[in-house]
Amino acid sequence: MSKKYWLSLGLSLSLLMVACSNRENESSDDSMEVSDEQLSEDMDIDIETEEGAASVEQSEPLIGEKVIKSVDVGYETTDFQESIDYIEKTIEKHGAYIEYSNEWNDSADQQYRSKNYTLRVPTESMDAFLDELEGMDAYKENEMISSEDVTQSYRDTEARIKVLGNKEERLNALLEEADSVEAIIQIEDSLSETIAERESLQSIIENYDSLIDYTMVNITLTERSTIANNRGEDRPFLERIQEAFINSAYTFFYFLQNMVVWIVYVLPFTFVIGVIIWIIFIFKKKKQNK
């Protein structure tokens, strides 16, 4: 009786230990699954964070705050003087100024005039200036806008000026404390070099500011007898023939003008040479009669 009791008690304890062991394994498996899921979620969060950071980096502006711009634009016009007046009024209206201008005649077609302007236009008014030029009665051949980012160079120069300013202050302090002529001379030489370098760098900054605040605009205006709305070769054949005929007529007209002017130039020489030839002819004729 006692043996059966102890046997049944041992068997019950064994079953209870096995059951507890299985529960611990299940709980450990569940905890492993949770940790794996959590790890996966963390990785997803990290990936999203990295992608977000990358997108933020890509969205940052590629051009700094210190940018030098320049514009080149060319126009053709049938009314040369009217277009010049329009350009110069637009220059005055937007607070720009003419840095350089030049007018000449085309070497191939002397009847056509051309003029080039190099302007300085306030950068804040540049878009409005270019938009107003669109209202000119002329055909825009080309337009090119270029930019140069000088932010890094500008900041480096500013930092160098600050360092030189601090050095200049220290040298002035040492100069006040110097007690020998030799020390004074050495400090003054170093101070002069520091001031010269600082002023040179300051002039670079001022030049940068001028180029940044005022955009350089090059305008080329060319006179033409006619201007087609479309300069491409896909224009109608009759339109191209008409334009060629008109250009040819203008060329012939100006050729006749140039010919008359040339005759006027050579007329005195022709008269003098004719008189000399006539005198020689008369002299020879008299000599033969004798």
Domain residue ranges of the chain, discontinuous segments joined by +: 65-224, 231-270
Q: How confident is the model at residue 123 (pLDDT cuts 50, 70, 90)?
A: very high
129 and 121 Cβ atoms separated by less than 8 Å: yes
Position with higher pLDDT, 145 vs 259 = 145
Q: How confident is the model at residue 260 (pLDDT cuts 50, 70, 90)?
A: confident
Which pair of tokens denotes residue 219? 């305008």
Q: 10 Å Cβ neighbour count for 217?
A: 23
Cα Dmax for the chain: 190
Q: Closest Cα to residue 204, out of 150, 168, 147?
A: 150
| Reported pTM | 0.59
Q: Provide the pLDDT for residue 45.
A: 38
Position with higher pLDDT, 254 vs 173 = 173
Q: How far apart are the first and last CA of the chain?
A: 190
CB-count exposure of residue 109 (10 Å: 0-12, 13-18, 19+): middle
Q: Provide the pLDDT for residue 259.
A: 80
248 and 160 Cβ atoms separated by less than 8 Å: no
